[in-house]
Protein backbone atom coordinates (compact mmCIF):
# COMPACT_ATOMS: atom_id res chain seq x y z
CA UNK A 1 0.00 0.00 0.00
CA UNK A 2 1.40 3.40 -1.00
CA UNK A 3 1.86 5.83 1.86
CA UNK A 4 0.96 9.50 1.40
CA UNK A 5 1.13 12.56 3.63
CA UNK A 6 -1.99 14.67 4.12
CA UNK A 7 -2.50 18.07 5.74
CA UNK A 8 -5.15 17.35 8.38
CA UNK A 9 -4.92 20.44 10.61
CA UNK A 10 -4.14 24.13 10.24
CA UNK A 11 -3.93 27.17 12.49
CA UNK A 12 -2.47 30.64 12.83
CA UNK A 13 -1.62 33.14 15.56
CA UNK A 14 -1.23 36.84 14.91
CA UNK A 15 -0.30 39.29 17.65
CA UNK A 16 -2.97 41.98 18.04
CA UNK A 17 -0.79 45.11 17.83
CA UNK A 18 -0.84 46.78 14.41
CA UNK A 19 1.90 48.92 12.85
CA UNK A 20 0.14 50.77 10.01
CA UNK A 21 1.54 52.69 7.06
CA UNK A 22 0.28 55.86 8.78
CA UNK A 23 2.33 54.91 11.87
CA UNK A 24 5.43 54.42 9.69
CA UNK A 25 4.91 57.87 8.17
CA UNK A 26 5.61 59.23 11.67
CA UNK A 27 9.04 57.57 11.97
CA UNK A 28 10.56 57.33 8.45
CA UNK A 29 10.37 59.35 5.20
CA UNK A 30 7.68 57.29 3.52
CA UNK A 31 3.99 57.41 2.77
CA UNK A 32 1.02 55.10 2.48
CA UNK A 33 0.78 55.54 -1.28
CA UNK A 34 4.43 54.54 -1.88
CA UNK A 35 4.23 51.49 0.37
CA UNK A 36 0.88 50.38 -1.07
CA UNK A 37 1.79 50.73 -4.74
CA UNK A 38 5.32 49.28 -4.39
CA UNK A 39 4.51 46.39 -2.05
CA UNK A 40 0.76 46.01 -1.43
CA UNK A 41 1.28 46.28 2.33
CA UNK A 42 -1.02 48.35 4.55
CA UNK A 43 -0.33 46.93 8.01
CA UNK A 44 1.92 44.50 9.83
CA UNK A 45 1.74 43.01 13.34
CA UNK A 46 4.25 43.53 16.15
CA UNK A 47 4.45 40.80 18.78
CA UNK A 48 4.43 41.42 22.53
CA UNK A 49 5.13 37.73 23.23
CA UNK A 50 8.03 35.41 22.36
CA UNK A 51 7.87 33.63 19.01
CA UNK A 52 7.27 30.29 20.76
CA UNK A 53 4.04 31.66 22.28
CA UNK A 54 2.75 32.52 18.80
CA UNK A 55 3.93 29.13 17.56
CA UNK A 56 2.27 27.33 20.46
CA UNK A 57 -1.13 28.89 19.77
CA UNK A 58 -0.95 28.27 16.00
CA UNK A 59 0.09 24.67 16.75
CA UNK A 60 -2.70 24.10 19.30
CA UNK A 61 -5.21 25.32 16.74
CA UNK A 62 -3.73 23.03 14.06
CA UNK A 63 -3.72 20.03 16.40
CA UNK A 64 -7.37 20.72 17.35
CA UNK A 65 -8.33 21.05 13.67
CA UNK A 66 -6.66 17.68 13.00
CA UNK A 67 -8.49 16.11 15.94
CA UNK A 68 -5.30 14.49 17.28
CA UNK A 69 -3.92 14.33 20.81
CA UNK A 70 -0.69 16.21 21.31
CA UNK A 71 0.88 12.90 22.44
CA UNK A 72 0.35 11.58 18.90
CA UNK A 73 2.74 14.15 17.41
CA UNK A 74 6.02 12.35 16.73
CA UNK A 75 7.95 15.22 15.12
CA UNK A 76 7.93 19.02 15.32
CA UNK A 77 9.64 20.94 12.53
CA UNK A 78 9.87 24.65 13.21
CA UNK A 79 10.63 26.77 10.16
CA UNK A 80 12.09 30.06 11.35
CA UNK A 81 14.90 32.53 10.76
CA UNK A 82 14.21 34.43 13.98
CA UNK A 83 14.76 31.73 16.63
CA UNK A 84 14.56 32.70 20.28
CA UNK A 85 17.94 31.07 20.72
CA UNK A 86 20.31 28.88 18.72
CA UNK A 87 20.97 26.54 21.66
CA UNK A 88 18.40 25.26 22.29
CA UNK A 89 16.64 25.39 18.95
CA UNK A 90 13.33 27.21 19.25
CA UNK A 91 11.54 23.94 18.48
CA UNK A 92 12.46 22.81 22.01
CA UNK A 93 10.49 25.68 23.53
CA UNK A 94 7.51 24.84 21.35
CA UNK A 95 7.71 21.15 22.27
CA UNK A 96 7.82 22.04 25.97
CA UNK A 97 4.92 24.51 25.81
CA UNK A 98 2.78 22.00 23.91
CA UNK A 99 3.72 19.08 26.15
CA UNK A 100 4.45 17.06 23.01
CA UNK A 101 6.18 14.36 25.03
CA UNK A 102 6.51 11.85 22.19
CA UNK A 103 7.93 14.23 19.59
CA UNK A 104 11.36 14.94 18.22
CA UNK A 105 11.87 18.60 17.46
CA UNK A 106 14.12 20.67 15.22
CA UNK A 107 14.39 24.12 13.67
CA UNK A 108 14.73 24.47 9.92
CA UNK A 109 16.07 27.72 8.50
CA UNK A 110 15.69 28.45 4.80
CA UNK A 111 14.63 32.05 5.47
CA UNK A 112 11.41 33.03 3.67
CA UNK A 113 11.39 29.69 1.83
CA UNK A 114 11.49 27.84 5.17
CA UNK A 115 7.90 26.67 5.26
CA UNK A 116 8.04 25.19 1.75
CA UNK A 117 11.40 23.53 2.45
CA UNK A 118 9.86 22.23 5.67
CA UNK A 119 6.72 21.01 3.94
CA UNK A 120 8.64 19.02 1.31
CA UNK A 121 10.91 17.57 4.04
CA UNK A 122 8.00 16.57 6.27
CA UNK A 123 6.09 15.02 3.35
CA UNK A 124 9.14 12.82 2.74
CA UNK A 125 9.47 11.89 6.42
CA UNK A 126 5.84 10.80 6.54
CA UNK A 127 5.85 8.96 3.21
CA UNK A 128 9.01 7.07 4.17
CA UNK A 129 7.52 5.94 7.48
CA UNK A 130 10.08 7.85 9.57
CA UNK A 131 7.19 9.83 11.10
CA UNK A 132 3.42 9.49 11.28
CA UNK A 133 2.03 12.73 12.69
CA UNK A 134 4.13 15.84 12.21
CA UNK A 135 3.58 19.39 13.35
CA UNK A 136 5.12 21.84 10.90
CA UNK A 137 5.30 25.40 12.23
CA UNK A 138 6.33 28.61 10.51
CA UNK A 139 6.92 31.41 12.98
CA UNK A 140 8.78 34.71 12.86
CA UNK A 141 9.40 37.66 15.12
CA UNK A 142 11.03 39.80 12.43
CA UNK A 143 10.28 43.05 14.25
CA UNK A 144 13.26 42.16 16.47
CA UNK A 145 15.54 42.42 13.41
CA UNK A 146 14.19 45.74 12.14
CA UNK A 147 16.02 49.03 12.11
CA UNK A 148 13.11 51.48 12.15
CA UNK A 149 15.34 54.21 10.70
CA UNK A 150 15.78 52.16 7.48
CA UNK A 151 12.77 52.81 5.27
CA UNK A 152 13.91 50.25 2.71
CA UNK A 153 13.30 47.34 5.11
CA UNK A 154 11.15 48.42 8.07
CA UNK A 155 8.03 48.89 5.96
CA UNK A 156 8.07 45.28 4.80
CA UNK A 157 8.30 42.84 7.68
CA UNK A 158 6.00 41.72 10.49
CA UNK A 159 5.43 39.01 13.10
CA UNK A 160 3.16 35.96 13.14
CA UNK A 161 2.85 32.19 13.16
CA UNK A 162 1.11 29.45 11.21
CA UNK A 163 1.12 25.69 11.62
CA UNK A 164 -0.10 22.54 9.92
CA UNK A 165 -0.45 18.93 11.02
CA UNK A 166 0.65 16.41 8.40
CA UNK A 167 -0.37 12.76 8.81
CA UNK A 168 0.13 9.52 6.96
CA UNK A 169 -2.72 8.28 4.81
CA UNK A 170 -3.31 5.67 2.11
CA UNK A 171 -5.31 8.11 -0.03
CA UNK A 172 -3.40 10.10 -2.61
CA UNK A 173 -2.38 13.44 -1.09
CA UNK A 174 0.60 15.68 -0.44
CA UNK A 175 3.55 16.74 -2.59
CA UNK A 176 3.04 16.05 -6.32
CA UNK A 177 6.05 18.11 -7.45
CA UNK A 178 8.74 20.11 -5.67
CA UNK A 179 11.64 22.49 -6.25
CA UNK A 180 14.14 23.70 -3.67
CA UNK A 181 16.93 26.00 -4.80
CA UNK A 182 19.53 28.40 -3.46
CA UNK A 183 22.17 30.81 -4.75
CA UNK A 184 24.48 31.27 -1.78
CA UNK A 185 26.84 33.42 -3.85
CA UNK A 186 24.26 36.22 -3.68
CA UNK A 187 23.36 35.76 -0.01
CA UNK A 188 24.65 39.17 1.03
CA UNK A 189 21.92 41.07 -0.84
CA UNK A 190 19.48 40.00 1.89
CA UNK A 191 21.05 39.24 5.25
CA UNK A 192 21.45 40.11 8.92
CA UNK A 193 25.22 40.74 9.20
CA UNK A 194 27.25 39.39 12.15
CA UNK A 195 24.44 37.37 13.66
CA UNK A 196 26.41 34.15 14.06
CA UNK A 197 29.65 32.50 15.09
CA UNK A 198 32.29 33.94 12.78
CA UNK A 199 34.38 34.90 15.84
CA UNK A 200 33.93 33.93 19.51
CA UNK A 201 31.37 36.32 20.93
CA UNK A 202 30.75 37.87 17.53
CA UNK A 203 26.96 37.60 17.51
CA UNK A 204 25.99 41.26 17.31
CA UNK A 205 22.93 42.22 19.37
CA UNK A 206 22.45 45.12 16.96
CA UNK A 207 22.16 42.86 13.96
CA UNK A 208 19.35 43.80 11.61
CA UNK A 209 18.07 42.90 8.19
CA UNK A 210 19.77 44.72 5.33
CA UNK A 211 18.62 44.26 1.76
CA UNK A 212 19.16 45.41 -1.79
CA UNK A 213 15.42 45.41 -2.44
CA UNK A 214 15.36 45.88 -6.19
CA UNK A 215 17.97 43.14 -6.79
CA UNK A 216 16.07 40.72 -4.51
CA UNK A 217 12.85 41.72 -6.27
CA UNK A 218 14.16 40.87 -9.76
CA UNK A 219 15.50 37.49 -8.67
CA UNK A 220 12.31 36.66 -6.74
CA UNK A 221 10.10 37.33 -9.77
CA UNK A 222 12.08 34.90 -11.93
CA UNK A 223 12.70 32.20 -9.32
CA UNK A 224 9.14 32.02 -7.96
CA UNK A 225 7.59 31.92 -11.41
CA UNK A 226 10.10 29.30 -12.72
CA UNK A 227 9.77 27.09 -9.64
CA UNK A 228 5.97 27.28 -9.68
CA UNK A 229 5.80 26.38 -13.36
CA UNK A 230 8.20 23.48 -12.80
CA UNK A 231 6.23 21.88 -9.95
CA UNK A 232 2.97 22.11 -11.88
CA UNK A 233 4.68 20.33 -14.79
CA UNK A 234 6.12 17.67 -12.45
CA UNK A 235 2.63 17.08 -11.05
CA UNK A 236 1.32 16.49 -14.56
CA UNK A 237 -1.25 19.26 -14.09
CA UNK A 238 -2.35 21.73 -16.71
CA UNK A 239 -2.51 25.35 -15.58
CA UNK A 240 -6.31 25.01 -15.47
CA UNK A 241 -5.96 22.28 -12.87
CA UNK A 242 -4.60 24.71 -10.25
CA UNK A 243 -7.26 25.56 -7.67
CA UNK A 244 -5.25 28.07 -5.62
CA UNK A 245 -1.77 29.62 -5.57
CA UNK A 246 -0.56 30.25 -2.01
CA UNK A 247 2.52 32.40 -2.55
CA UNK A 248 4.93 33.75 0.04
CA UNK A 249 3.64 37.24 0.83
CA UNK A 250 6.69 39.45 0.26
CA UNK A 251 5.48 41.86 -2.39
CA UNK A 252 2.21 41.93 -4.31
CA UNK A 253 4.04 42.71 -7.55
CA UNK A 254 6.13 39.52 -7.17
CA UNK A 255 2.93 37.55 -6.54
CA UNK A 256 1.22 39.15 -9.55
CA UNK A 257 4.17 38.17 -11.77
CA UNK A 258 3.99 34.54 -10.58
CA UNK A 259 0.23 34.51 -11.16
CA UNK A 260 0.68 35.93 -14.67
CA UNK A 261 3.20 33.19 -15.55
CA UNK A 262 0.70 30.54 -14.36
CA UNK A 263 -2.12 32.38 -16.21
CA UNK A 264 -4.19 32.46 -13.01
CA UNK A 265 -7.23 34.65 -12.50
CA UNK A 266 -7.11 36.74 -9.29
CA UNK A 267 -9.69 34.41 -7.73
CA UNK A 268 -7.06 31.62 -7.84
CA UNK A 269 -4.40 33.59 -5.97
CA UNK A 270 -4.46 34.04 -2.20
CA UNK A 271 -3.39 37.46 -0.93
CA UNK A 272 -3.22 38.76 2.63
CA UNK A 273 -0.04 40.82 2.33
CA UNK A 274 -2.02 44.02 3.00
CA UNK A 275 -2.75 42.82 6.54
CA UNK A 276 0.52 41.29 7.71
CA UNK A 277 3.38 42.31 5.38
CA UNK A 278 6.19 39.80 5.00
CA UNK A 279 6.19 37.26 7.82
CA UNK A 280 8.84 35.06 6.15
CA UNK A 281 8.38 31.37 7.11
CA UNK A 282 4.99 32.11 8.65
CA UNK A 283 3.37 33.65 5.59
CA UNK A 284 2.27 30.52 3.70
CA UNK A 285 0.79 28.61 6.69
CA UNK A 286 -1.06 31.79 7.74
CA UNK A 287 -2.31 32.19 4.15
CA UNK A 288 -3.32 28.52 3.95
CA UNK A 289 -5.27 28.75 7.21
CA UNK A 290 -7.10 31.89 6.07
CA UNK A 291 -7.79 30.40 2.63
CA UNK A 292 -9.35 27.28 4.19
CA UNK A 293 -11.39 29.39 6.62
CA UNK A 294 -12.61 31.53 3.71
CA UNK A 295 -13.78 28.42 1.83
CA UNK A 296 -11.21 28.90 -0.93
CA UNK A 297 -9.64 25.44 -0.63
CA UNK A 298 -11.98 22.85 -2.14
CA UNK A 299 -11.85 19.25 -1.01
CA UNK A 300 -8.90 17.50 -2.75
CA UNK A 301 -7.70 20.86 -4.09
CA UNK A 302 -4.62 21.27 -6.25
CA UNK A 303 -2.53 23.92 -4.48
CA UNK A 304 0.76 25.58 -5.36
CA UNK A 305 3.05 26.87 -2.60
CA UNK A 306 5.83 29.18 -3.83
CA UNK A 307 8.44 31.21 -1.96
CA UNK A 308 11.67 33.17 -2.25
CA UNK A 309 13.92 34.71 0.36
CA UNK A 310 17.26 35.14 2.10
CA UNK A 311 19.93 32.63 1.28
CA UNK A 312 19.04 33.33 -1.51
CA UNK A 313 16.56 30.46 -1.38
CA UNK A 314 13.50 29.60 -3.38
CA UNK A 315 11.06 26.71 -3.21
CA UNK A 316 7.76 25.59 -4.62
CA UNK A 317 5.47 22.60 -4.16
CA UNK A 318 2.46 21.30 -6.05
CA UNK A 319 0.21 19.99 -3.29
CA UNK A 320 -2.84 17.74 -3.39
CA UNK A 321 -4.96 18.70 -0.39
CA UNK A 322 -6.98 16.12 1.52
CA UNK A 323 -10.70 15.40 1.54
CA UNK A 324 -11.57 17.32 4.69
CA UNK A 325 -11.54 21.13 4.68
CA UNK A 326 -13.50 21.58 7.93
CA UNK A 327 -11.64 21.51 11.25
CA UNK A 328 -12.46 18.57 13.52
CA UNK A 329 -11.99 20.80 16.55
CA UNK A 330 -11.66 24.49 17.40
CA UNK A 331 -10.07 25.98 20.52
CA UNK A 332 -10.98 29.28 22.09
CA UNK A 333 -7.50 30.17 23.42
CA UNK A 334 -6.01 33.54 22.43
CA UNK A 335 -2.65 35.20 22.94
CA UNK A 336 -2.52 37.18 26.18
CA UNK A 337 -3.75 40.76 25.80
CA UNK A 338 -1.07 43.42 25.43
CA UNK A 339 -1.16 46.58 27.54
CA UNK A 340 1.62 48.24 25.52
CA UNK A 341 1.33 50.59 22.54
CA UNK A 342 3.10 49.80 19.29
CA UNK A 343 5.70 52.47 20.16
CA UNK A 344 6.35 50.85 23.53
CA UNK A 345 6.84 47.50 21.81
CA UNK A 346 9.33 49.07 19.38
CA UNK A 347 11.26 50.98 22.06
CA UNK A 348 14.06 48.34 22.24
CA UNK A 349 14.62 48.84 18.48
CA UNK A 350 14.71 52.62 18.92
CA UNK A 351 17.19 52.17 21.79
CA UNK A 352 19.52 50.15 19.54
CA UNK A 353 19.19 51.82 16.17
CA UNK A 354 17.90 55.27 17.04
CA UNK A 355 14.74 56.96 15.90
CA UNK A 356 14.62 59.58 13.17
CA UNK A 357 13.48 63.07 14.09
CA UNK A 358 11.18 63.98 11.21
CA UNK A 359 10.46 67.64 10.64
Q: Least distance to ligand UT7 from the beta carbon of 212, Å?
A: 8
Stretch that binds ligand UT7, among 92-100, 133-141, 147-155, 333-341 (CB under 6 A): 147-155
Ramachandran region of residue 165, left (φ > 0), alpha (ψ -120 to 50) or beta?
Answer: beta
Q: Least distance to ligand UT7 from the beta carbon of 206, Å?
A: 21
Q: Which residues of 35-56 are buried (b: 16+ CB within 10 A; e: fewer)?
A: beebbbbbbbbbbbbbbbbbbb
Tell me: does residue 36 bind ligand UT7 (CB under 6 A).
no
Please select the residue that binds ligand UT7; options are 19, 75, 220, 246, rule is CB under 6 A.
Answer: 220
Tell me: does residue 213 bind ligand UT7 (CB under 6 A).
yes
Stretch that binds ligand UT7, among 10-18, 247-255, 288-296, 333-341 (CB under 6 A): 247-255
Catalytic residue among 21, 48, 109, 112: 112
Closer residue to ligand UT7, CB minimum distance, 49 or 191: 191
Stretch that binds ligand UT7, among 54-62, 178-186, 210-218, 338-346 (CB under 6 A): 210-218
Tell me: does residue 281 bind ligand UT7 (CB under 6 A).
no
Please select the residue that binds ligand UT7; options are 216, 242, 259, 345, rule is CB under 6 A.
Answer: 216
Q: Least distance to ligand UT7 from the beta carbon of 355, Å?
A: 16
Tell me: does residue 37 bind ligand UT7 (CB under 6 A).
no
Please select the residue that binds ligand UT7; options are 97, 151, 274, 355, rule is CB under 6 A.
Answer: 151
Stretch that binds ligand UT7, among 30-38, 162-170, 226-234, 330-338 (CB under 6 A): 30-38
Closer residue to ligand UT7, CB minimum distance, 178 or 251: 251
- Binders in 67-106 for ligand UT7, by CB under 6 A: none
Q: Are 335 and 57 in contact (CB under 8 A)?
A: yes
Tell me: does residue 182 bind ligand UT7 (CB under 6 A).
no
Tell me: does residue 308 bind ligand UT7 (CB under 6 A).
yes
Closer residue to ligand UT7, CB minimum distance, 217 or 305: 217
- Residues in the site for ligand UT7, rule: CB under 6 A? 30, 34, 38-39, 112, 151-152, 155, 190, 213-214, 216-217, 220, 250-251, 254, 278, 308-309
Write out the catalytic residue numbers: 112, 248, 278
Amino acid sequence: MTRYAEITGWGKALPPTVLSNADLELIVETNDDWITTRSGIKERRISHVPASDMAELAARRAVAAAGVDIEAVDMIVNATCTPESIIPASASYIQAKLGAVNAGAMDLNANCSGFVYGYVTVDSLVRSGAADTVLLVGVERLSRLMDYTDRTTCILFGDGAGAVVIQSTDREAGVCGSEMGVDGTMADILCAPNDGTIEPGSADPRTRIVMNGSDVFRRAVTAMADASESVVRQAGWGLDDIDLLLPHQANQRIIDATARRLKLAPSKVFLNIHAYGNTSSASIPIALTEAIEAGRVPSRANLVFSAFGGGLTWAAAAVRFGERVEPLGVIEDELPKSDRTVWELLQPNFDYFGRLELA
